[in-house]
Amino acid sequence: LLLNCAIATMMPTPAYGLIEDGCIVINGDIIQWVGPKSDLPKDISQQDAQDMQGRLITPALIDCHTHIVHGGYRATEFEMRLNGASYEQIARAGGGIISTVTDTRAATETDLLQSALTRVDALIAEGVTIIEVKSGYGLDIDTELKMLRVARSIEQHRNVRIKTSFLGAHAVPPEYASCPNDYVTQVCIPALEAAAQLGLIDAVDGFCESIAFTPDQIAQVFTRAKDLHLPVKLHAEQLSQTGGTQLAAKFGALSVDHVEYASANDAKVLSKSGTVAVLLPGAFYTLQETRKPPVYAFRKHSVPMALATDCNPGSSPLSSILLALNMGCIFFGLTPEEALAGITRHAARALGLNDCGIIDAGMRADLAIWDVSHPSELAYRIGFNPLHKRIFGGQLCH
Ligand SMILES: O=C(O)CC[C@@H]1NC(=O)NC1=O
Ligand SMILES: [Fe+3]
């Protein structure tokens, strides 16, 4: 029993689903009751009540888009970009994703796990309990499976839940540069089938972009994903209008991600398919992009918006979900409430999860307790972590 706390349940209404002087009753790993202290059922034992001393409690945070497992790093490229090279120029010069592929293919599973855990710990320290982790730096069957095994193993080493996404359609590896369609049919799809067979993936992702895969190639991968009863999501309209968002909506995608170049018509289509728009301000910031996602159109068509770190060694070496929250407001114009919904309720939806992301009876008892009094402070502060305690599955933990 948690007493004397402000609770941002993140239910859609009222703002933040806020309960000023509330209580939460936890039973095992499930929330049994939440509400104003004055309505606390009389039969609830006060024996192990814990006084929160007025602190704010939110749902634990969810980072719904990361490439947190990867080999090597790309600081050299960072310098190139600061000297004016564009992301696409670097990619075409064999830098970018392909340089991380080389490092990831060479890394052992232990190396990959140890380096990923340093970034996982940064997210845990900010109250995160669920992390989505993509493959996509192997681009051969063995390394894609190696990445996904490492991603799955994170749960054995930390108190977090991991959702994995297959991203074999991330880039065309050099050995297939002249025949990308052969990569799709001879490597990407067989890797997808092997990963599905081994139970290593929860969803299938792709990168639909001029420097990556065409809508037709993505459609081939998504058709196979649907045959395997796997949900899909897509890196879409990040650097140009390619039709990725429309394609993803056609496949009933859980989410479309980046979407800086999505149109108002795309927003209309997304609202029909129930697809979440995942905004990734870390990549927008790192790449010094100027085109912003059509937040107004997403609002107008009630497209749920999520936020995530897109933690990856190239376009978004960001391991702070709280900074992503602040950037979502500053760069993309989200309200603090929309931003917080973007790393709780809407992030859960982007992962196809219905047992978390809000504080309500029956939900998992995954909570974050903050040394702040109002939820807007979480987006307001820059580079400051006010987390007091994290509760994972009903247990206080680090
Ligand atoms: O630069 C990297 O390593 C990943 C880039 C990342 N992947 C993608 O599909 N879009 C991105 O920004
Ligand atoms: Fe990404």
Residue 88 predicted with pLDDT over 80: no
User: Would you mind telling me the total number of residues written for the chain in this entry?
Assistant: 398
- Ligand 1 site-directed mutation target among 73, 97, 211, 221, most atoms within 8 Å of CB: 97
Mean pLDDT of 30-44: 96
Dig out the tokens for 239 from the structure.
Answer: 């650097």
Helix residue ranges, H only, the chain: 75-82, 87-92, 97-106, 109-124, 141-157, 180-183, 189-197, 215-227, 244-250, 264-273, 281-286, 295-300, 321-330, 336-342, 345-350, 376-380
Mean pLDDT of 108-134: 98
Burial class (CB in 10 A: 0-12, 13-18, 19+), 125: middle
Indicate which residue's Cα is closest to atom 8 of ligand 1.
207
- Phi/psi region, residue 41 (left: phi>0; alpha: psi -120 to 50; beta: rest), is beta
- Find the range with the poorest average confidence among 73-77, 91-95, 127-131, 269-273: 91-95
Q: How confident is the model over 256-272, as pLDDT tens digits?
A: 999 999 999 999 999 99
- pLDDT, the chain, mean: 96
Tell whether the torsion through CA atoms of 135, 141, 143 and 147 is positive or negative. Answer: positive
Mean pLDDT of 68-89: 88
Q: Which amino acid is at 105?
A: R
Q: Which residue has the tokens 């992009």?
A: 289
Measure 212 CA to ligand 1 centroid, in angstroms.
Answer: 10
Mean pLDDT of 60-80: 94
Measure 97 CA to ligand 1 centroid, in angstroms.
Answer: 7
Mean pLDDT of 304-317: 97
Q: How confident is the model over 176-235, as pLDDT tens digits?
A: 999 999 999 999 999 999 999 999 999 999 999 998 999 999 999 999 999 999 999 999
Indicate which residue's Cα is closest to atom 11 of ligand 1.
315
Measure 156 CA to ligand 2 centroid, in angstroms.
Answer: 24
Q: How confident is the model over 222-255, as pLDDT tens digits?
A: 999 999 999 999 999 999 999 999 999 999 999 9
- Phi/psi region, residue 42 (left: phi>0; alpha: psi -120 to 50; beta: rest), is alpha
279/215 Cα distance (integer angstroms):
20
Q: How confident is the model at residue 321, as a pLDDT?
A: 98
Dig out the tokens for 198 from the structure.
Answer: 């081994």
Measure 22 CA to ligand 1 centroid, in angstroms.
Answer: 42
Measure 65 CA to ligand 2 centroid, in angstroms.
Answer: 6
Q: How confident is the model at residue 92, as a pLDDT?
A: 76
Percent of the chain past pLDDT 90, that is, above it, reads 91
Q: How confident is the model at residue 76, as a pLDDT?
A: 83
Percent of the chain past pLDDT 70, that is, above it, reads 100
Residue 32 predicted with pLDDT over 90: yes
Ligand 1 cavity residues, CB under 6 Å: 96-97, 100, 170, 207, 235, 238, 283, 312-315
Indicate which residue's Cα is closest to atom 9 of ligand 1.
207
User: Which of ligand 1's atoms lies nearest the C-alpha of 207?
Assistant: 9
Q: How confident is the model over 122-178, as pLDDT tens digits?
A: 999 999 999 999 999 999 999 999 999 999 999 999 999 999 999 999 999 999 999
Q: How confident is the model over 311-347, as pLDDT tens digits?
A: 999 999 999 999 999 999 999 999 999 999 999 999 9
Q: How confident is the model at residue 398, as a pLDDT?
A: 67
| pLDDT band, residue 356 (cuts 50/70/90) | very high
- Ligand 1 site-directed mutation target among 86, 288, 310, most atoms within 8 Å of CB: 310
Mean pLDDT of 372-390: 97
Distance of CA 74 to the CA centre of its chain: 21
